[in-house]
């Protein structure tokens, strides 16, 4: 039977990073006696110089380690350094790139990992997976373990661009279509959908879908979004797979990254865009997804990112090829250029609320 573990602590507080001497013992006992490796990147080291200095002051032995990119080689080099130098704990401070590298390196070095996110742009912060480059633009998902502790400083998150919070919302919204595809895969292959993982991922979606707080930078909303992203990570940990959070809409994002690396769009926004197409293929009511995107100000109009109709069609037609082992709605729906062209046109209307169920039914 698949076993899973949960983080020891989850702290979401204003100014949490300035009181790490109080926060960290909840995650790792006797942390002040431990040798700690603090992983971040040059840009963040400069941007948060005072915060990092404050954290280092709170810990007896805390050395900085800067990473340049999220590549497998960099993560393995970091794991080797942590092992050879006998570090006891690894702290990751940054966005998805830094956190994925620190998480994987801690897993290889077999030491506790504490996650200090500076943005809330996707659910990988609490997941048991790291996505890293293996060769040029090729990225691969590597299994590892969820963090020992997650500490979110709401003041730091508030200082980040709002677009990163919107990306986090996009990654959460995409669970609507991911969960459907997970069931489809299980039915096709005789697999099992873990009820608790399903419920927790659905809770992540509901947390954002039925949230009444509209001020994205409010302390309240940052709490809610943190919960939603952590729920996503836990759902993956319980399922032992990314399936509760990743379906056809994520394959759309993978294909866009792999075949059109020049397109600049965040993971969260690409999967939100993908969930509209996936929802139509699944014959669901996508007007509610559209309403949610409009409500939070998520821009999912393909042309705004330089995604032409040709690219849009090509990406959907090649999406399934990025994860051949996964059965999704893409394996059984009509992906003709005519239909995809119709969806692109519908997504290009400026009044987003116009995208009604009947309108999507036209495609």
- Nearest alpha-carbon partner for 66 in 54, 55, 52: 52
Q: Of 171 and 257, which has the nearer Cβ to Zn ion?
A: 171
CB of 124 to Zn ion, least distance (A): 7
CB of 235 to Zn ion, least distance (A): 12
Q: What is 312-349 written as a DSSP string?
A: HHHHHHHHGGGGTT---GGGTS---HHHHHHHHHHHT-
CA distances to 40, 47, 96, 225, 359 from 93, in Å: 5, 12, 10, 18, 44
Tell me how far apart the alpha carbons of residues 91 and 34 are, in angstroms, rounded to a whole number.
12
> Considering only 83-91, 111-119, 165-173, 317-325, which stretch makes contact with Zn ion by CB under 5 A?
165-173
Q: Of 57 and 137, which has the nearer Cβ to Zn ion?
A: 137
Q: Which residue has the tokens 């006891």?
A: 88
CB of 358 to Zn ion, least distance (A): 30
- Nearest alpha-carbon partner for 231 in 259, 250, 270, 203: 203
CB of 250 to Zn ion, least distance (A): 6
- Cβ(234)–Cβ(129) below 8 Å: no
Q: If binding means CB under 5 A, how many residues of this protein chain bind Zn ion?
A: 1
- Nearest alpha-carbon partner for 108 in 62, 143, 150: 143
CB of 183 to Zn ion, least distance (A): 18
- Which spans in the chain are helix H? 20-23, 42-47, 49-58, 72-84, 96-109, 154-159, 162-173, 175-189, 195-209, 219-239, 248-259, 267-281, 287-296, 309-319, 337-347, 357-361
Q: Of 78 and 292, which has the nearer Cβ to Zn ion?
A: 292
Tokens standing for 174?
Answer: 């995409």
Name the strand (E) or helix (H) holding 192. Answer: none
In DSSP terms, 91 is beta-bridged to: 38, 114
CB of 50 to Zn ion, least distance (A): 32
Q: Of 87 and 305, which has the nearer Cβ to Zn ion?
A: 305
Query: Taking CB under 5 A as the rule, does residue 257 contact Zn ion?
Result: no
Tell me how far apart the alpha carbons of residues 103 and 94 are, in angstroms, rounded to a whole number.
12
Tell me how far apart the alpha carbons of residues 216 and 224 are, in angstroms, rounded to a whole number.
10
User: Which 43-62 residues touch Zn ion, going by CB under 5 A?
Assistant: none
CB of 324 to Zn ion, least distance (A): 19
Q: Of 41 and 171, which has the nearer Cβ to Zn ion?
A: 171
> Considering only 11-19, 50-58, 166-174, 211-219, which stretch makes contact with Zn ion by CB under 5 A?
166-174
CB of 53 to Zn ion, least distance (A): 33
> Considering only 130-138, 168-176, 311-319, 342-350, which stretch makes contact with Zn ion by CB under 5 A?
168-176
Give the residue at shortest CB distance from Zn ion. 171
CB of 274 to Zn ion, least distance (A): 10
> Considering only 143-151, 164-172, 201-209, 284-292, which stretch makes contact with Zn ion by CB under 5 A?
164-172
Binding characters for Zn ion, 201-230, by CB under 5 A (x = yes): ------------------------------
Tell me how far apart the alpha carbons of residues 219 and 165 are, in angstroms, rounded to a whole number.
12
Q: Of 52 and 169, which has the nearer Cβ to Zn ion?
A: 169
- Cβ(124)–Cβ(117) below 8 Å: no
Q: Of 153 and 171, which has the nearer Cβ to Zn ion?
A: 171
Q: Of 91 and 167, which has the nearer Cβ to Zn ion?
A: 167
Q: Of 145 and 254, which has the nearer Cβ to Zn ion?
A: 254
Among 58, 171, 227, 237, binds Zn ion (CB under 5 A): 171
Binding site for Zn ion (CB under 5 A): 171
């Amino acid at each position: 039977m698949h076993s899973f573990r949960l983080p020891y602590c989850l702290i979401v507080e204003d100014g949490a990073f300035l009181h790490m001497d109080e926060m960290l013992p909840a995650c790792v006992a006797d942390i002040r006696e431990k040798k700690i490796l603090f992983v971040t990147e040059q840009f963040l080291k400069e941007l948060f110089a005072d915060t990092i200095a404050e954290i280092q002051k709170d810990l007896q032995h805390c050395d900085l380690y800067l990473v340049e990119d999220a590549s497998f080689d960099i993560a393995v080099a970091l794991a080797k350094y942590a092992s050879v130098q006998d570090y006891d704990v690894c702290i990751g401070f940054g966005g998805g790139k830094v956190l994925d590298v620190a998480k994987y390196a801690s897993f290889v070095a077999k030491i506790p990992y504490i996650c200090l996110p500076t943005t809330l742009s996707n659910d990988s912060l609490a997941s048991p997976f790291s996505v890293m480059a293996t060769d040029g633009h090729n990225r691969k998902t590597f299994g590892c373990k969820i963090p020992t502790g997650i500490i979110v400083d709401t003041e730091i998150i508030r200082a980040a661009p709002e677009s990163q919070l919107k990306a986090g919302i996009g990654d959460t919204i995409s669970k609507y279509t991911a969960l459907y595809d997970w069931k489809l895969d299980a039915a096709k292959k005789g697999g099992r959908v873990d009820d608790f993982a399903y419920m927790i991922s659905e809770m992540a979606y509901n947390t954002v879908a039925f949230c009444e707080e509209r001020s994205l930078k409010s302390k309240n909303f940052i709490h809610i979004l943190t919960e939603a992203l952590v729920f996503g990570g836990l759902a993956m940990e319980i399922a032992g797979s990314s399936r509760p959070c990743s379906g056809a809409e994520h394959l759309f994002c993978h294909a866009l990254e792999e075949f059109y690396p020049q397109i600049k769009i965040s993971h969260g926004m690409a999967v939100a865009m993908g969930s509209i197409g996936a929802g139509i293929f699944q014959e669901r009511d996508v007007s509610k997804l559209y309403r949610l995107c409009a409500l939070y100000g998520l821009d999912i109009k393909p042309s705004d990112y330089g995604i032409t109709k040709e690219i849009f069609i090509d990406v959907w037609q090649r999406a399934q090829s990025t994860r051949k082992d996964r059965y999704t709605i893409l394996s059984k729906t009509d992906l003709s250029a005519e239909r995809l062209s119709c969806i692109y046109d519908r997504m290009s209307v400026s009044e987003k609320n116009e995208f009604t169920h009947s309108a999507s039914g036209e495609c």
